[in-house]
Amino acid sequence: MSIGTRSGIGTRVRAVGLAALRGFGLALVTLPGAVLGFVLSVVSLALVPLGIGLVTTPWVLTGVRAFADWRRVLAAQWGGVRIPSAYRPAPPDANPWSRTFGMLRDPATWRDLRWLPVDMTAGFVTALLPAVLVLYPLEGLVIAVGLWRPFQDMGGYWYGFVHVTDQTSALLAGALGIALLPLAALAPRLLTFHFRLTRTVLGAGQGELAERVRVLTETRRDAVDTSAAELRRIERDLHDGAQARLVAMGMDLGTIEMLLDKDPAQAKRLLAQARQSSVDALAELRDLVRGIHPPVLAERGLGDAVRALALRLPVPAEVTVELQGRADAPVESAAYFAVSEVLTNAVKHADADRIWVDLHQTEGKLRITVTDNGRGGAAVTAGSGLAGVERRLGTFDGVLAVSSPAGGPTMVTMEIPCV
């Protein structure tokens, strides 16, 4: 036998052994974890009408989500099966009622709850089978070398269809174990099948995919409309602002040229006026460029750009930044203008005397929280600034959540995928 052949056999044996070990460990966790999660979920949901479930349900469902996400990680690492996690984010400081029913309105929550009974039954069996296919043939071999003897006084030992009562029947059990041994090669495939079964239940269904297409179509249309409106704004600002000043400055320069010899004093006054017009036009062009893509955002990133925004506010603002590098330029631009709109709303309508902005990255997502101590009552309604922010974020598959009880405080949470 060549070295390459021996190496290939060794690799396959290790893969079979590893699949059996992983499947056995997974089965030990699957059954108690799924049963506990299912029982706690049912009990907590039953207690919602009594008010107790309003407090317990978010904690229980968060635990179920963590359990499901852990299985998603194992599916990707051990089986190469990717199961996307698509939970709707909820504001961390939302009241119990909003938090509970926000999670219950999420289709992913009910998908998790449907998965738990499957996981404690078919999932447990498919996780345990790889270990069984490896250990059961080995058991037959161990019986053949004498394991049957401790059971002799108890009437023998059954291995499959073989009743082991003496060494002859023990050897027959060993032969059966050898016959079953090739089935152990199926262990890696069975473990992959377990994760595919998990994906079938935890993955998004056709209805959710159709809803996803609808949402993406709407956000794409909103993005096109927003881009067209932005182009019209830029054209209007150029026409009414910088362009008008430049035309006036050209006329002044023509007049100055005629007055240089006839009336030098008037020419000097018009020259000063033309110089001021050029300064004003340059300032308007800079403001226009800043409205399209602020230079500080391109040069120094989102954190410093938001800090610059905060410095220009008439209300004291505290900015906390915990970012791991820079996101793509379109994501940074969307986040910057979303924060700018939320800050503008807070200054105009909240009657706040302090604002806090927090930017950080977690699990491949950019999360931004803007909090003010104003009078509250903010809502995402048609035509409002927050509705525009929601549409802007939706273009990037982002979400917006608003917690703003009457009397305040108001917290606006925005989340945008960085990938």
The C-alpha atoms of residue 343 and residue 355 are separated, in whole angstroms, by: 8
pLDDT tier for residue 281 given thresholds of 50, 70 and 90 = low
Strand partners, 316: none
Whether pLDDT at 396 is above 60: yes
pLDDT tier for residue 136 given thresholds of 50, 70 and 90 = confident
Give the mean model confidence (pLDDT) for residues 206-212: 56
The C-alpha atoms of residue 104 and residue 110 are separated, in whole angstroms, by: 7
Model confidence over 144-165: pLDDT tens digits? 777 767 666 666 677 777 777 7
Q: Work out the angle at residue 268's Cα, subtended by the Cα atoms of residues 266 and 273, and round it to the nearest 5 degrees.
A: 95
pLDDT tier for residue 117 given thresholds of 50, 70 and 90 = very high
Model confidence over 312-332: pLDDT tens digits? 888 888 888 887 777 777 788
Model confidence over 49-100: pLDDT tens digits? 888 888 888 889 889 988 988 888 888 888 888 887 777 766 555 667 777 8
Least confident range of 120-124, 132-136, 356-360: 132-136
- Cα torsion 269, 270, 275, 277 to 10°: value is 120
Whether pLDDT at 2 is above 70: no
Least confident range of 27-36, 184-193, 257-266: 257-266
DSSP state of 402: E
Give the mean model confidence (pLDDT) for residues 350-364: 82
Q: Output 228 or 39, whichever has higher pLDDT.
A: 39
The C-alpha atoms of residue 31 and residue 33 are separated, in whole angstroms, by: 6
Q: Output 376 or 383, whichever has higher pLDDT.
A: 376
Q: What is the pLDDT of residue 39?
A: 92
Strand partners, 368: 359, 414
Percent of the chain with pLDDT over 70: 77
Model confidence over 244-265: pLDDT tens digits? 666 666 776 777 767 677 777 7
Q: What is the pLDDT of residue 286?
A: 64
Class of domain 300-417: alpha beta
Give the mean model confidence (pLDDT) for residues 387-406: 77
